[in-house]
A and B are shown apart, each in its own frame.
Chain A
Amino acid sequence: MSDEELLAERLDRAAAGPPPTFDHTVIRHRARRRRARNRTAVAVVVALVIVGTASLAARPGKRALVTASRVTLDQLIGDRWVPTAYSGVVVPPEGAFLDFGRGSITGTDGCSFFDGRWSLTDDVLQVDPLRVTSAHCETVGDLLAIIEADPVLSQPDGERGPIELREDDRWVQLTRFDRFGVAVTEADLGTTWVQPGATYRFDPSGELVVTINGCSTTGRWRLDGATLQVDDLDRTIDCSVDGGDGIVAGGAIDALRSDPQVRLASGLWLSGDLGVLRLAEAEQE
């Protein structure tokens, strides 16, 4: 018997067991409950918003603070969303983000990267099975699990506010990257930032020195609003370790050269086409 036949035989035996304890009636019941729960959650959110809006509008001189709750496709698409709280607990995003494209979703929970197809039906985010890179590491929160569980979307603070993805008793709050943290000034940026194995020195004179594993390269930097512009940053680096030139292989240089958006929140956050890069401020000597 070949290895493959032997394996098939043993798998068959190992997979065998008593008949499953459920049938299609159980599934139908659970599906109906899930659907009803999703509708109830949406209805409650809508009702609360309507009541809140009406009561605020009824007060003279007060402008309604809540302007919308129903999330539309256009509100999701085109922005980068960063998890800023799980089930009401504010968390450091640690590099996690979501990008909604037209029909496609990409992102990372700060560890594994994933992509797939999504749609929005009655405020329920439905995602086809995601392709997920198989990184094995701990992450903050349950971003991936919540997304995969057909969560209900709401936007409690109006159409420019954060969105919430809720599944049962857990939810994640996503904030637009351009509203996350605070805007960076040149004075904020003009210091040294670090990642494991790398330093980024944004000199106030405009010179940028990137050092990765003892090898360095230089360029020029400036802020254009919230966009970091980096010029003349070469992938060819001076490697003082072995005395020769080398090529920076990582994506850090490309991330800097892609005109990333920058924000400050317990570190420096750069958001570009390659995702979110988080740098910590170097300790001053």
Chain B
Amino acid sequence: MRSGGRMMGVGSPEELCDRVRDRLVGALTLSTADRAVAEELAQETLVRVWLHWSRVSTLDSPEHWAMRVGLNLATSWHRRRLAEWRANRRASGERSAEDRHDPAVDAVRQAVASLPPRQRAVIVARFYLGYDVAAAADLLECAPGTIKATTHQAISKLRRSGLLDADEEETA
């Protein structure tokens, strides 16, 4: 199959985009608590993958690189733009359709998104992306011990917020 003169297949940016897209959007949805923001950040991430493909394709795990870029973009977004962007959306009354009617989903996203950046990234990496301690340490460029400690802190915080209560969904 040809697309734009480039052979698609294993190792092509097209193939990588389509392979990581859903998980990337999911991870960024948890990181930002907003599906629309997540889609925008995922697109920006994949544009960078495309622009840097000659280098990214030589990496052991291009997916890993994409996830790292995405999580860093989410952190940057939190740091600088999210408050303004949300205020604008609130002012315009715009909400994405699937954000409207599920308070349980919203509660989980808000709890994760309100964690400090490192804890948020660790939770997403380990329990959504399914990375083990070593892979998460590599992804977030820190020591495995830091991942373990941060995981413990984040879970404690989520437990205190009621997210891990067995009947959380019923009460949400």
Interface residue tally on A, bucketed by range: 35 or more
What residues on A are CB-neighbors of B50 within 8 Å? 27-28, 30-31
A10 near B: Cβ within 8 Å?
A: yes
**Which secondary structure dominates chain A's binding surface?**
helix
What residues on B are CB-neighbors of A25 within 8 Å? 3
* From B14, B104, B141, contact of A28 by CB (8 A): B14
CA distance A134 to B118 in the complex (A): 8
CA distance A126 to B159 in the complex (A): 40
* From A15, A20, A24, A131, contact of B27 by CB (8 A): A15
Are B47 and A31 within 8 A (Cβ)?
yes
A148 near B: Cβ within 8 Å?
A: yes
Are A20 and B22 within 8 A (Cβ)?
yes
B155 near A: Cβ within 8 Å?
A: yes
Are A144 and B76 within 8 A (Cβ)?
yes
Are A11 and B127 within 8 A (Cβ)?
yes
Are B108 and A14 within 8 A (Cβ)?
yes
What residues on A are CB-neighbors of B4 within 8 Å? 28
Closest residue of chain A to B49 (Cβ to Cβ) is: A27
Contact with A along B123-143 (1 / 0, CB 8 A): 110011010000000000100
Are B128 and A15 within 8 A (Cβ)?
yes
Residues 23-45 of A contacting B (Cβ, < 8 Å)? 23-28, 30-31, 34-35
Closest residue of chain A to B25 (Cβ to Cβ) is: A20
Are A13 and B105 within 8 A (Cβ)?
yes
Are A10 and B25 within 8 A (Cβ)?
no
Contact with B along A205-223 (1 / 0, CB 8 A): 0000000000000000000
Are B17 and A21 within 8 A (Cβ)?
no
Contact with B along A4-17 (1 / 0, CB 8 A): 10111011111111
Are B80 and A27 within 8 A (Cβ)?
no
- Contact (A8, B17) CB under 8 Å given A20-B22, A148-B73: no
Question: How many residues belonging to B are interface residues under a CB distance threshold of 8 Å?
Answer: 58
**Which secondary structure dominates chain B's binding surface?**
helix
Are A21 and B48 within 8 A (Cβ)?
no
Are A20 and B42 within 8 A (Cβ)?
yes
Closest residue of chain B to A11 (Cβ to Cβ) is: B128
Are B79 and A18 within 8 A (Cβ)?
no
Q: How far is the CB of B4 from chain A (nearest CB, A)?
A: 6
- Contact (A34, B51) CB under 8 Å given A3-B164, A15-B29: yes
Closest residue of chain B to A142 (Cβ to Cβ) is: B80
What residues on B are CB-neighbors of A19 within 8 Å? 22
Q: How far is the CB of A252 from chain B (nearest CB, A)?
A: 26
Closest residue of chain B to A148 (Cβ to Cβ) is: B76
CA distance A63 to B106 in the complex (A): 65
A47 near B: Cβ within 8 Å?
A: no
A198 near B: Cβ within 8 Å?
A: no
Closest residue of chain B to A7 (Cβ to Cβ) is: B127
Further 8 A-B residue pairs, CB within 8 A, beyond A35-B51, A144-B80? A11-B112, A20-B42, A28-B50, A31-B50, A126-B51, A131-B141, A134-B116, A150-B48
- 26 A-B contact pairs sorted by A residue (CB < 8 Å): A7-B164, A8-B127, A8-B128, A15-B27, A15-B29, A16-B26, A17-B26, A17-B29, A18-B35, A18-B98, A20-B22, A23-B17, A24-B14, A27-B17, A28-B4, A28-B13, A30-B43, A31-B50, A126-B51, A126-B52, A130-B72, A132-B76, A144-B80, A145-B81, A148-B72, A150-B51
